[in-house]
Structure 1
Amino acid sequence: MHFYTTLRAGLLLALVAGATAAHAQAPNGPARKRYLFAQKNPECPVVANITKNTDEDADVTGSYTHVCYRSPAEMLSDINELRKLHDWADSTYQRRLAALPPGGALLLNIRRQGPKNADPSLLTLSARTKDGKEVFTATPKPGTGRFYGRDLYQNQQNIPFIKLDPAAGPLTLIITDTRLRQQFEYQLTPPAQ
């Protein structure tokens, strides 16, 4: 009997220590669950989720946060396809080309409860190299969300990004939501060129 009591006390101590360590990772809020291995995003092969944030319960809790990297070549092909569909003047095409970010863009998509909570300016984006050096930081433009369903509002925004260097290795992208007091982590792996 003494063995089981000691084992139960040890397990309880380990659970409390694990919960405390997990809570310490969060920026003044509840810690997000993490995948054991980064999960590839089927819609965006350059991005992998580190924190569990795109599952079904993210819509229930109003914490859906999705990011995708769009390369300059991909954005250029979109502009060329739109030019075929629309009768653009040459100045419109040139303006779109001039606005094309040289490093591509991050497509940020969030769903929150209430239109004011879907404001992208409540988020801070930070990209770091594997040695911890910050190479990118941004705060998206303010705005309110459009109705998505139930009490959820969605907001989508393109954020110009830096040029990805394949030799530098993967970057860790951290999105901090000040309203939810949570962090969402992603791994960006530069494609070979």
Structure 2
Amino acid sequence: MPIFPRLIRNFLTIGVFTLLAGTVLAQPTGKAAKGRSRYTFAQKDAVSPYVKNVTKNTDEEQDVDGSFTRIGYRSYTDILTEIEALRKLKDWADTTYQRRVAAIPPGGALLVTIHRQGPKNADLSNLTLTVTDKDGKEVLAQTLAPGAGRFFGRDLYQAQRALPFPKMEAQELNVSIRDAKLYQTFDYILTLPAAQ
């Protein structure tokens, strides 16, 4: 058998094995490879009455792998009620009150909170938020702006971001937050209240 075709075949074999080995090494390992465990039925969130957790995202899970992601929703009415209460407490001038009311997003605000191990892992730019309706139509898609977290306790760091939400009719929306660094996706159901 001539040496040239054998040499080409050996190079191709080595190239294929190298490519396969690189693919295997690039795959996430541990809990990230399996993904987050999911509830059989979506669980109501303890903090936000409009949110239900689809993926298991508890303090116990945080103790295991150091990753905790929570969303909360505040409607326009909720934010306005808070501003009116603060106006009474702080004796704001009319201009301050009007400026605060004008800054309220018409659809309310979505609050994203994460806890991560180490300050570099608490960077919000690792997160991509996608909101879809029941038909699968994308309502909102956003990669969060960079922002470092602050020390939360033990080796955990917390970062938060409030995102303005578009004004919509009362409905259920699916919210998915993908963490590019952890290779994990956190899923939620957001129930928008009727406009008041």
Deviations 1:131-173 (A, max 9, x none): 211011122232111111110011122111122322xx31110
Aligned residues: 165
SS at match of 2:122: coil
Alignment check: 8 A CA contact 2:69 2:114 kept? yes
Aligned match of 1:12: none
Determine if the alignment matches structure 1 residue 107 to structure 2 residue 111.
Answer: yes
Aligned match of 1:151: 155
What displacement does 1:40 show?
A: 1.1
Alignment check: 8 A CA contact 2:44 2:53 kept? yes
Alignment check: 8 A CA contact 1:54 1:66 kept? no
Aligned match of 1:39: 43
Aligned match of 2:8: none
What displacement does 1:31 show?
A: 1.0
The one-letter code of the counterpart of 1:164 is: M
What displacement does 1:119 show?
A: 1.6
Moved more, 45-54 or 79-88: 79-88
SS at match of 1:117: helix
Structure of higher CA gyration radius? 2
- Return the alpha-carbon distance in structure 2 between the equivalents of residues 31 and 179 of structure 1: 13
Q: 4+ residue stretches of structure 1 with deviation over 4 A?
A: none
Decide whether aligned partners of structure 1 residues 61 and 189 sit closer, same or farther in structure 2, where only a CA change above 3 A counts.
same
What displacement does 1:30 show?
A: 3.6
Gaps of 5+ in 2: 1-26
Determine if the alignment matches structure 1 residue 141 to structure 2 residue 145.
Answer: yes
What displacement does 1:60 show?
A: 3.7
Alignment check: 8 A CA contact 1:30 1:181 kept? no
- Return the alpha-carbon distance in structure 2 between the equivalents of residues 88 and 143 of structure 1: 30
1:16-165 equivalences under 5 Å are: 29-165=33-169
Percent identity, aligned pairs only?
A: 57
SS at match of 2:49: strand
Which of residues 173, 176, 186 in structure 1 aligns to 2:175?
A: 173
What displacement does 1:29 show?
A: 4.3
The one-letter code of the counterpart of 2:153 is: G
What displacement does 1:116 show?
A: 1.9
Decide whether aligned partners of structure 1 residues 87 and 139 sit closer, same or farther in structure 2, where only a CA change above 3 A counts.
farther
Gaps of 5+ in 1: 1-22
SS at match of 1:162: coil
- Return the alpha-carbon distance in structure 1 between the equivalents of residues 115 and 37 of structure 2: 18
Aligned match of 1:190: 192
What displacement does 1:90 show?
A: 2.7
